[in-house]
Chains A and B, each alone.
Chain A
Amino acid sequence: MINNFLINYPVLSAIFICFISISIYQLAANLQQKWLSIWLNPMLITILILVPVLVLLDINYQQYSQATYVLNMMLEPAIVALGYPLYQQFRQIRFHWREIISILALGVVVVISISFFMAIILIKAPEIAIALSLKSVTTPIGITLTDQLTGDSSITAFAIMLAGLFGGLLGPTWLNFIGVTSSKAQGLAVGSASHVIGTAVLVRISAEHGAYSSVALIISALLTALISPWLVPLLQQVLI
């Protein structure tokens, strides 16, 4: 019955499915704002609610993807909007931009290589390896890069969310344990690995933590976009 509705009334069903997706996401975002819990991550809650609903209604991913085409179209302008926080951070990094860029670039090379290697050894699927190697950047850029490198962007979106939760929840405690205690170093470390989710946690510790975390998330994303198009094919040639 639902499938007939989707086929016969494509515009109406697209509006309905977009409305449901946005409502669940917004509800989760409001809950997170109210309870300030990292586990109420809007993306996580939306997946946990929406996936069973779609399975129950027998709506497959292709139908869902077509219906939410408008949301997908908004991805590009959303990425451009990230230029504003990048502009805001120019002043923050201008005194030691060489050190910051060098450290983050090394981190990008290390994380892409290790993730790709581990995924090829353990899962043996190149499209999953590409998706996992691009999981340490903010979602819009991770998805765009994965699509560009013919990886599986749905795995990237899932992996980015988990990387954010792991780093945001345990990152600061782990860094204190290994003796990394300065707010700049903690901010750069968590921001580069756990992007927006990690930054949201660090902002609550101190403003300097938050500022350096957002510097790391933006610069790491740019560096990943510059490095991955040649590093990933190179790893594919060597390891596959």
Chain B
Amino acid sequence: MTNLFYTLFAISISLLLGKLANYLLAGLPASLYGMIFYAVFLQLNWLSADRVAVTNQWLIRHMGVCFVPAAIGIINHFQLLQQHGLALVGIIFSTTFILITFIGLLSERFLIKSVTETSDMRADND
């Protein structure tokens, strides 16, 4: 129970600092600043990762329900779906696969090769 309050407190503090950062710097939304603060505090051990683990995982597992109201907004777009439904789905489908192909090929070419070369060099040195 104390870990639950600890996690909620940690998230609230990070969000408050996020709101302050958003007020002072603008740029990112307050919640994203909050997310970065939260990750950095955990990395610096200012917050205990062990104490937030269980509640945080529960929050992430169930957070999807918070997006239902936004998704239900599709109710306002029946006309748009009737008129442009095919174009909408076509754009989502094609751009998703363009991105998957782009990232996949670049990662295979630059990331995997560099990792392989580094490990080959390490093996040679050994």
Q: Which residues of A are in contact with B by a Cβ distance under 8 Å?
A: 21-22, 25-26, 29, 42-43, 46-47, 50-51, 54-55, 60-61, 64-65, 68, 71-72, 74-87, 90, 96, 99-100, 103-104, 106-107, 110-111, 114-115, 118-119, 122-123, 125, 128, 132, 135-136, 139-141, 143-145, 148, 152-159, 161-163, 166-167, 170-171, 174-175, 178-182, 184-186, 188-190, 192-194, 216, 222, 225-226, 229
Contact = CB atoms under 8 A, between A and B. Distances in A.
B52 interface: yes
Contact of B104 (A51, A153, A189): A189
A179 B101 CA distance: 10
B88 A132 contact: yes
Contacts of A29: 62, 64
B52 A84 contact: yes
Contact of B15 (A61, A80, A141, A229): A80
B91 A118 contact: yes
A47 B101 contact: no
B27 A229 contact: yes
A46 B35 contact: no
Contact of B103 (A81, A85, A139, A216): A216
14 contacts: A21-B68, A43-B68, A46-B72, A71-B69, A79-B32, A84-B49, A87-B49, A96-B115, A122-B84, A154-B71, A190-B100, A192-B99, A216-B103, A225-B28
A175 B106 CA distance: 12
Interface residues of B, number: 71
Interface string B71-107: 1111111001000100111111111111111111111
A114 B98 contact: yes
A78 B104 contact: no
Nearest to B97: A174
Contacts of A50: 68, 72
Contacts of B56: 81, 84
A-B complex: 5 closest residue pairs judged by Cβ atoms: A154-B73, A83-B38, A189-B104, A185-B107, A180-B104
A33 to B, nearest CB: 10
B68 A78 contact: no
A161 to B, nearest CB: 7
B11 interface: yes
A132 B42 contact: no
Contact of A188 (B14, B28, B73, B107): B107
B34 A103 contact: no
